[in-house]
Structure 1
Amino acid sequence: MRRSRRLLLALALLAPTLLGFAPGGSGETISLAGSEPGARLDVTLTQVVDPATPAGPDNPTGPDNPTGPDDPDGPDRLVATRFRLENTGTAVYRDSPAPATHLLDADGRRFTGIDLPTTAGPAFPAAVTLDPGATAEGFVTFRIPADAEPAAVQFALDAGLADDVGQWSLPLP
């Protein structure tokens, strides 16, 4: 079982290289293109907070938070990832960072980012607009099983659907 788990992790981490993704080291800036002409961002993963704590009254019990914000023994935990986005293209960037971001765990499972504020810091708004040359920083949160081991984070433009995908290995130093 342990061997197959490691094989899955190796495949998950190797797949981006084989499929044309842009792998990055921890904290490295990766330049990514979108599908529209002039769409280009420099994306940097700057921080990972694991576990992250929900913030504020915006976190009621519900489908994104089935155990409630104050249940320390719940089956899930939050991981918050901080990104810096710089529009290096010629087109205005308009996108939603949360669904554009994915966390891969050591078992090869993939989790999509959610718009859930945490005490780690300010989250990106649901929609970010950046003129050429402008920057934005914010957190994207993931809800993962309590026993999951984060292995990598991926980001792509066009709500995560662009062909150009950046990947950072975890944990960050």
Structure 2
Amino acid sequence: MNRVTRTRLAVTAAVAIGALSLTACNGDATVTDKPKAKASAKAGGDSKPAETSAAPAVAKIGDTIGLKGMEGGKLDVTVVKVIDPAKAGDEFTVPEDGNRFVGIQFQLVNTGAKAYSDSPANGAQVTDADGQQFQPTFADLSAGPSMSSDVRLKPGAKALGWITFEVPKGVKPATVQFSMNSGFADQTGEWKLK
């Protein structure tokens, strides 16, 4: 390889890295922990519309956050349940020594006008009170089916599944975050787990 070819390759690599850095470090990123207001149905045969209760100040287990992704994508994301510690779905899958599994069940509803296609676990992480972050791991849980690694939802469709995290035994997860587009969307939802 001659000197000119090496120089061209170096310039091409620098441009590619710069473009990736600009894409990943968008200044429009936000984290929201404000859940949507919940509609409460009236008992009986009332023809009055359902009342809407005020949304709590901070999202917690059971709350839904509306998120926006790239290219007009929209999801209503709900943290349905948390199991800590969680049990693996088979006897062969075990966490590393000193760790345990934590399972978080998510429900995703496509509220956008376009189809949603993603690997949702790529955009999820749990954080402890000290700010340590833990990424998902591949482990099926006895609690139920895992979230698919290839979710495809038409507008109005939903997906339900568990995302598994491996955390040290002495660590208490304080929050879970979820972002669309495998974590590259500008908007991230955050739920308190305590």
Which of 176, 182, 194 lines up with 1:159 in the alignment? 182
Structure 1 residue 58: Cα displacement? 6.5
- Tell me the alpha carbon deviations over residues 68-117 of structure 1, each in whole angstroms, 9 at most, x when there is no partner: xxxxxx31000000011000001111111111111001221111122310
Which residue of the partner structure matches residue 90 of structure 2? 56
Distance in 2 between residues matched to 1:88 and 1:96, nearest whole Å: 17
Which residue of the partner structure matches residue 65 of structure 2? 30
Runs of 4+ in 1 over 3 A off after TM superposition: none
Q: How many residue pairs were aligned?
A: 141
Shift of the 103–35 alpha-carbon distance from structure 1 to 2, 3 Å rule, reads: same
Percent identity over the alignment is: 39
Give the AA of the match of 1:52.
A
Q: TM-score, normalised by structure 2?
A: 0.69
Which of 124, 138, 153 lines up with 2:161 in the alignment? 138
1:20 partnered with 2:30: yes
Larger displacement relative to structure 2 (113-122 or 46-55): 113-122
Which residue of the partner structure matches residue 86 of structure 1? 109
- Tell me the alpha carbon deviations over residues 100-146 of structure 1, each in whole angstroms, 9 at most, x when there is no partner: 11100122111112231011211011111100000110000000011
Is contact 1:152–1:169 with CA below 8 Å preserved after alignment? yes
Distance in 1 between residues matched to 2:182 and 2:137, nearest whole Å: 12
* Structure 1: tracts of 5 or more residues without a match: 1-18, 68-73
- Tell me the alpha carbon deviations over residues 131-166 of structure 1, each in whole angstroms, 9 at most, x when there is no partner: 000011000000001100110000000101211100
Is contact 1:52–1:78 with CA below 8 Å preserved after alignment? yes
Give the AA of the match of 1:137.
L
Give the AA of the match of 1:30.
I
RMSD of aligned Cα (Å): 1.5
Distance in 1 between residues matched to 2:92 and 2:116, nearest whole Å: 27
Distance in 2 between residues matched to 1:90 and 1:77, nearest whole Å: 39
- Tell me the alpha carbon deviations over residues 26-72 of structure 1, each in whole angstroms, 9 at most, x when there is no partner: 311000011112x000000010000001112673x7xxx4x3xxxxx
Which protein has the larger Cα radius of gyration, Structure 1 or Structure 2? Answer: 2
SS at match of 1:159: helix
Which of 67, 81, 94 lines up with 1:47 in the alignment? 81
Distance in 1 between residues matched to 2:83 and 2:131, nearest whole Å: 20
Higher helix share: 2
Structure 1 residue 25: Cα displacement? 2.9
* Structure 2: tracts of 5 or more residues without a match: 1-28, 34-58
Is contact 2:108–2:160 with CA below 8 Å preserved after alignment? yes
Distance in 2 between residues matched to 1:82 and 1:32, nearest whole Å: 17
Is contact 1:53–1:120 with CA below 8 Å preserved after alignment? yes
Which residue of the partner structure matches residue 133 of structure 2? 110
